[in-house]
A = this chain, B = another copy of it.
Amino acid sequence: MQKEDVKKLEFSLDPKSGVPYYKQIIIQVEMAIADGRLSKDEQLPTVRSLAVDLRINPNTVARAYNELEIRGIVTTQQGSGTFINTQEIEISAVERERFLAEITRPFIIKAASYGINLQEIIKYLMELEKNI
């Protein structure tokens, strides 16, 4: 290998998701840390460059970085940039449950529209799990 085969960090926004841009950025940073694409002391894109990349207002990026800093996930060094500050992301049980509900709901509803009920879904998933 000539170089590290690292999954590069790529931000992307979904305007239709209803999730505010700044939150999408926060989640993506957190996820990148969680799966190792970002690690301690690495630098995030600058506010301006990311704003240009994503074609959004720099204030929006700044807000995301700011909230990440408040949560202790990144540290901003005046004049030099924003850096990852931690190795681990902890997501609270409540957040976890809420997130699970959020992604599960449309899945259940879509299945139901084809006449597939919860029991059937569970049965299918248990089959799947057994065969992993």
Residues of A within 8 A of B (CB): 15-16, 20-21, 27, 30-31, 33-36, 57, 67, 70-71, 75, 77-80, 83, 85-86, 88-91, 96-97, 99-101, 103-105, 107-122, 124-126, 128-129, 132
Closest chain-B Cβ to A118's Cβ sits at a distance in Å of 5
Asked whether B132 lies within 8 Å of A118 as measured between CB atoms, the reply is yes
- Checking B31, B75, B79 against A16 with a beta-carbon cut-off of 8 angstroms, the contacting residue is B75
A65 nearest CB across to chain B (Å): 13
A70's partner among B71, B78, B126 (CB-CB below 8 A) is B71
Structural contact, A20 and B78, CB atoms closer than 8 A: yes
Give the chain B neighbours of A104 by CB distance below 8 A. 107, 121, 124-125, 128
Contact B128 A114 (CB under 8 A): no
